[in-house]
Amino acid sequence: MFIRALYTLLLTAASPLLLFGLYRRRPNKPKFGPRWKEHFGFTPPLVDANNGQPLWIHAVSVGESIAAIPVIKAIKAKNPEQTIVVTTTTSTGAEQISKLGDLVEHRYMPIDFAWCVRGFLKTIKPSAMLIMETELWPNTLATVHQANIPVVVMNARLSERSARRYAKFQPVFDMIAANLDHLLCLHRDDADRFAQLGIAPERLSVTGSVKFDIQIEPALIEQSQQLRQQLGESRPVWIAASTHKGEDEQILEAFNTVKQQHPESLLILVPRHPERFDSVAELCQSQQLSCVRRTSEQDVDEATDVYLADTMGEMLLLMGAADVTVMCGSLVGDKVGGHNMLEPAALAKPVLTGPSFYNFADITQQLEAAGALKVCDDAKQIAEHLDELLSDPTQCQHMGKAAIGVVQQNQGAVAKTLAVLDQQRQGYPVRCQQTK
């Protein structure tokens, strides 16, 4: 109790800065508008409130929202009458959930003060809370637990480094863990680390990652093919996905090297955060590169060097139009730890990544072992591997085939997740077999 009170005091002191970061206006960032009040527990009633207690799924931002979609669709397919409420903290996450239409209702996540969370619970009255990945807020978990609402964490992962940090503050971890009913872990190693920190084995299952259950719609493939025709069907095209500050310069360095051997090549450049769209465009122009923004009405022609993706939620479409994907968030030291490489893999695209991919170590290692991915230390190595792949379409095809093979071998996590959720609702002990 003392630890949580101290945490609340610190959160109160830090909240002005945190809220400023959340609400600060940035170029191309969707606005919260009058819905900002939802962060403080002033939650509008559900439109569809007549089908019993809704299921509450929390996905903090864009990546978690995308990961939750297969689970949402599977739940609705199994029980079309089940009302699902999805909360996100960010407006960019809300934008992703809006694409599900009437399948779910979206609300903003109340900030981590008990009175805010109680306001949300009083209006929504959820039957259970499902958290996508390890987004664990102490006051939220305690308030939900006190309301006798089960809390299940999906895609739960715990790196060795994070486990060591938690172990140094065991009372803090114990406070959080006491309010979790079940954790659906990515791998046996994750479950073992949670167990070493004191989570009882009967509260742990290994279901694998629901991200492997990505489904590529035929309509999206067709849209990607149409985009490729617009960009240039015969020219080499590669994509740098989810770049962070400090990576664009390295990507453009690699691009200038690649152009020496492939002067007709085109780079699709996708900054991770919308507030950086303008600055990245200016960076391209400062290097005398011809840059066309996706949101502009300007057509891409043979002289275009960079196609700047200044939109959100189109990553699969853009990857589908490229020959090779360079997954970023991996070229800025240990600040980010990489991004999900399963999207290009599911599209049968060869993947390159930088050396820092600790958040997706298992996926990276599986893809590399299968010959679907290459790890590059710097811009020079990225350029070397791109030159090799863009010069050899057959090698691209082999790597792409290996990539989609890894995805298919690991699928089934959504079905296992739903099985665990069903058993949890029935109150039975839950144990799932480890995925390979």
130, exposed or middle or buried, with CB in 10 Å at 0-12, 13-18, 19+? buried
CB 420 within 8 A of CB 430: yes
d(CA 259, CA 436): 41
Q: Residue 305 corresponds to which amino acid?
A: D
Number of CB atoms found within 10 A of residue 9's CB: 10
| Angle of helix 138-146 versus helix 114-124 axis, rounded to 10 | 40
Where residue 371 falls (left for φ over 0; alpha for ψ -120 to 50; beta otherwise) is left
Look at residue 153 and give its three-state secondary structure.
strand
Q: Closest by alpha carbon to 248, among 283, 217, 214?
A: 283
User: 364 and 357 in contact (C-beta within 8 Å)?
Assistant: yes
Between vectors from CA 283 to CA 282 and to CA 286, what angle results, nearest 5°?
85
User: Which whole-number Å values give the CA distances from 78 to 46, 82, 152, 415, in the listed order?
Assistant: 21, 9, 19, 11
Which tokens sit at 401? Answer: 């085939």
How many CA within 13 A on the CB side of residue 389? 28
Q: Helices marked H in 197-276 — which ranges? A: 218-231, 248-261
Which of 34, 67, 240 is CA-nearest to residue 156? Answer: 67
User: 96 in helix, strand or coil?
Assistant: helix
Residues listed for the chain: 436
Cα distances (angstroms) measured from residue 103 to each of 81, 97, 99, 118: 10, 10, 9, 25
The catalytic residue among 38, 64, 95, 105 is 64
The two beta strands, 128-132 and 266-271, are unpaired
Task: Reply yes or no on whether 38 is catalytic.
Answer: no
- At position 355, the amino acid (one-letter code) is P
Cα–Cα distance measured from residue 271 to residue 242, given in angstroms and rounded to the nearest whole number? 5
What kind and span of H or E run contains 84? strand 84-88
Catalytic residue positions, numbered:
64
